[in-house]
Amino acid sequence: MIFFIIFILLCLTLLDLPFLLQYNKSNVTITYLALVLIGIAISYIVVQEVPVTSPAVLIEKIVVFVIGRV
């Protein structure tokens, strides 16, 4: 399943790549490729059913750390 997702994302990237390279904007191309890699990582996590900590729990821990509440 993960290979299918990677294949689809790479096909979409190959379709978009000529348009990205046409304007010679390296920062846009790098950002696009970074977002594709993030998408591949998220897809892998979802397919493998890895338990992910809720963002609310992490935000609460950061807030508690910042304000110093016990």
pTM reported for the whole predicted model: 0.62
Q: What is the pLDDT of residues 4-60, one digit of tens each?
A: 878 888 888 888 888 888 878 788 888 888 888 888 888 888 888 888 778 888 888
Q: What is the pLDDT of residue 69?
A: 65
Domain ranges in the chain are 2-67
- Whole-angstrom distance, CA of residue 43 vs CA of residue 31: 18
Q: What is the pLDDT of residue 43?
A: 83
Is the CB of residue 36 less than 8 Å from the CB of residue 28?
no
pLDDT > 70: percent of the chain: 97
Half-sphere exposure of 2 (CA within 13 A, CB side): 11
